[in-house]
Amino acid sequence: MTSATHLTHLLTLDSISPEEMENLFTQARLLKLARATASKSAQPLAGRTVALLFEKPSLRTRISFEVAARELGANSLYLSWQEVGLGQREAVKDAARVLGSYVHAIVIRTFSHALVEELAQWSPAPVINGLTDSHHPCQGLTDVFTIEEQLGGAAGKTLAYVGDGNNCAHSLAQAAAKAGMRVRIVTPKGYEPSPDAIASAQRDAALSGGSITLLHDPVEAVAGADAIYTDVWASMGQEHEAEARRAIFAPYQVNEALLSHAAPGVIVLHPLPAHRGEEITDEVIDGPHSRVIVQAENRLHVQKAILRAAVAARRQAALTA
């Protein structure tokens, strides 16, 4: 992948350079402005079709991709997991080759990251990871886009991620490292993010002037921070751990007391859905520092840019084949 308009697949943020990320952000800003000003926007994906293949339930990912496709001129097809039976009714590579010949992009939201990699291996259409247990690249891109928008830039800013070292933490760290941020990830012991994801983020941070630090003290992590980010303590598929996790993660709640240690103009982010009163209080998520709703809206604009880039890549590949 040589530019943001040659996005073959988006499985993790390993495959995107800082320049490609900023190119996507530039497009997202233009798309957001056009929508806000009711400008008549071009429909670069007219006549194209985007398939949404979801095993996990979704509000933001499904609706934002459906609206993004429609506003870019494309059709969208929502495919339930039961209908397709990926890897059950038929082999992944058979389904991938067939589906990828019908549509111009596939958005998949599932548990297994290995399944998404296999789908991309065989699909002639670009595959976009709408979330797996390991990575959430569309969310990570949106998070850093929102930080740049709300803080007037991301490079040199301090971002504190508070909570579970999950898929959102992985993609957030990777995107923020590419943007030159100082990232502090604070978790209870035993709940740190994946060493592979952190190693990837650290490689980018070394090139961008950013940094990645793992901590266990939430006050230390948020001290002077420009942005604080949290997520649910038990993700989908971990419901059986929820009660035990509440006790372990209680000291990591993002509340007014924790916010008092951050920079005066700190912004607070959360990918939603939130478990209010657990990882974040009502006072914070509804308070003046919260940017949670604009962050959710920005999924639409960033994913529009991703879809444009992915479909353009397929078109270019077809022309040169």
313 and 206 together in one domain? no
Q: Are residues 258 and 307 in the same domain?
A: no
Tens digits of pLDDT across the chain (321 residues): 334 445 789 999 998 999 999 999 999 999 999 999 877 667 999 999 999 999 988 999 999 999 999 999 999 999 988 888 787 888 999 999 999 999 999 999 999 999 999 999 999 999 999 999 999 999 999 999 999 999 999 999 999 999 999 999 999 999 999 999 999 999 999 999 999 999 999 999 999 999 999 999 999 999 999 999 999 998 877 888 889 999 999 999 999 999 999 999 999 999 999 999 999 999 999 999 999 999 999 999 999 999 999 998 666 666 555
Report if residue 174 sits inside a domain. Answer: yes
3-state secondary structure of 235: coil
8, part of any domain: no
Whether residue 180 sits in one domain with residue 126: no
Q: Within a domain: residue 5?
A: no
Spatial distance between the Cα atoms of 197 and 102, rounded to a whole number of angstroms:
33
For residue 41, the tally of other CB atoms under 10 A from its CB is 16
Count of domains observed in the chain: 2
152 and 61 co-located in one domain: no
pLDDT at 321: 54
The per-residue pLDDT for 7 is 77
- Would 74 be classed as within a structural domain? yes
User: Are both 143 and 292 inside the same structural domain?
Assistant: yes
Residues 303 and 285 in one domain: no
Q: What does the pLDDT read at residue 241? A: 87
User: What is the predicted pLDDT for the residue at 65?
Assistant: 98
How far lies 55's CA from each of 49, 78, 141, 167, 178, in Å? 20, 11, 22, 16, 30
Is position 6 within any domain? no
- Joined together, the tokens standing for residue 271 give 């990918």
Q: Which domain holds residue 281?
A: 139-296
- SS3 state of residue 38: coil
Answer yes or no: is 2 within a domain.
no
For residue 2, the model assigns a pLDDT of: 34
pLDDT at position 237, please?
Answer: 74
Could you say which DSSP state residue 128 is in?
A: E
**pTM, full prediction:** 0.94
Instruction: Give CA angle at 132 (130, 134), nearest 5°.
Output: 130
Model confidence over 92-126: pLDDT tens digits? 999 999 999 999 999 999 999 999 999 999 999 99
SS3 215: strand
Q: Specify whether 194 is located in the same domain as 219.
A: yes
The pLDDT of residue 320 = 57
Residues 165 and 211 in one domain: yes
CATH code of 249's domain: 3.40.50.1370
pLDDT of residue 318: 61
pLDDT reported for residue 316: 61
Kindly provide the residue ranges of all beta strands, DSSP E only, lying in 37-146, ordered along the sequence: 49-54, 75-80, 105-109, 127-131
